[in-house]
Amino acid sequence: MATIAVCVLAGLMMAIGATASRGNDLRPARTTELVGLVRAETDRADALRKRAAALQDEVDHLTQARAGAAQGPAATELQAAAELAASTPVAGPSVTVTLTDAPATVQPAGVDEDLLVVHQQDIQAVINALWASGAEAVTVQGQRIGARTGIKCVGNTVVVHGVPYAPPYVISAIGDHARLEQGLRDSDYLRVYRQYVDAYRLGYDVTRQARTEMPAYTGPATFTKATALR
């Protein structure tokens, strides 16, 4: 009797499901709607990026025209402002730091896996050490870093200016070789990081370049809040 009851109940459930769905899957509508939304937002983001790039080109053209017309102190001030805003390409001697996750074969017992990968704070520590050591310009993954740059961890990637990157993470800075390298050595955070490099084989490589060309900053340029200096 129990077997018959189970069979009857299962048949009843299938009949109710078929009636409710009218012969269609109950779930695809929601899935299809979500996929369509993702595609639409991706297309919108692409369009906005293209529009932003076009506007940036226009701003660069006007800035160059203004700089060419300016003379004397005005030209000097304009050039200084452009350098602070990272709005012009630069070139010079540089130091590059490359960070990589520990190899997948490294699985020490009792060690959290998060300690075996590069995080945003590791990249930020390198950037801060380079700035503090007199870096004139900095890039991450080839993107120029500015005052508005945010570096975020998203899953197993790092996002810079809305673009996700996987390791290795390459941070370059233009400036005096010796000062930049000394700044990296003096960083308390990086001193601890290098202990993990030695213990768990995370990648940490520092190299010199005689000349590196860096593009202008192309990240967000608007501010939503400002405070006057007194």
Give the span between the Cα atoms of 116 and 137, in whole angstroms.
29
Overall number of domains in the chain = 2
Backbone conformation region of residue 110, classed left if phi is above 0, alpha if psi is from -120 to 50, else beta: left
Question: What pLDDT, on the 0 to 100 scale, is given for residue 208?
Answer: 98
Kindly state whether residues 104 and 27 are assigned to the same domain: no
203 is a domain residue: yes
Question: What pLDDT, on the 0 to 100 scale, is given for residue 20?
Answer: 47
Question: What pLDDT, on the 0 to 100 scale, is given for residue 4?
Answer: 52
134 is a domain residue: yes
Kindly state whether residues 107 and 148 are assigned to the same domain: yes
84 is a domain residue: no
74 is a domain residue: no
For residue 28, what are the domain limits?
Answer: 1-63
Give the span between the Cα atoms of 182 and 175, in whole angstroms.
12
> Please, are residues 206 and 172 in contact by the beta-carbon 8 Å criterion?
no
Largest CA distance in the chain: 101
101 is a domain residue: yes
Per-block mean pLDDT, blocks of 10 residues, the chain (230 long): 51 51 48 63 74 76 65 56 65 97 90 90 96 96 85 83 89 98 97 95 97 85 61
Kindly state whether residues 39 and 110 are assigned to the same domain: no
CA 187 to chain centre: 22
Kindly state whether residues 98 and 170 are assigned to the same domain: yes
Question: What pLDDT, on the 0 to 100 scale, is given for residue 142?
Answer: 92
Question: What pLDDT, on the 0 to 100 scale, is given for residue 223?
Answer: 56
3 is a domain residue: yes
117 is a domain residue: yes
Give the span between the Cα atoms of 9 and 193, in whole angstroms.
61
Choosing from 24, 45, 63, the residue where a domain stops is: 63
Backbone angles phi, psi at 175, to 5 degrees: 165, -170
> Please, are residues 139 and 171 in contact by the beta-carbon 8 Å criterion?
yes
Identify the H or E element spanning 73.
helix 73-84
154 is a domain residue: yes
CATH number of the domain at 200, please: 3.30.70.1880
Kindly state whether residues 101 and 205 are assigned to the same domain: yes
Q: Which residues pair with 3 in a beta bridge?
A: none
Question: What pLDDT, on the 0 to 100 scale, is given for residue 207?
Answer: 98
Question: What pLDDT, on the 0 to 100 scale, is given for residue 27?
Answer: 46
Give the span between the Cα atoms of 92 and 211, in whole angstroms.
5
Three-point CA angle 122, 124, 130, nearest 5°? 110
Nearest to 131 by CA among 80, 205, 184: 184
Kindly state whether residues 57 and 95 are assigned to the same domain: no
Kindly state whether residues 127 and 196 are assigned to the same domain: yes
> Please, are residues 20 and 26 in contact by the beta-carbon 8 Å criterion?
yes
Kindly state whether residues 121 and 175 are assigned to the same domain: yes
Q: Is 130 exposed, middle or buried (0-12, 13-18, 19+ CB in 10 A)?
A: buried
Kindly state whether residues 5 and 97 are assigned to the same domain: no
Question: What pLDDT, on the 0 to 100 scale, is given for residue 86?
Answer: 61
For residue 104, give the DSSP letter: T
Kindly state whether residues 96 and 45 are assigned to the same domain: no
224: CB partners within 8 A, 6+ apart:
none
Kindly state whether residues 119 and 168 are assigned to the same domain: yes
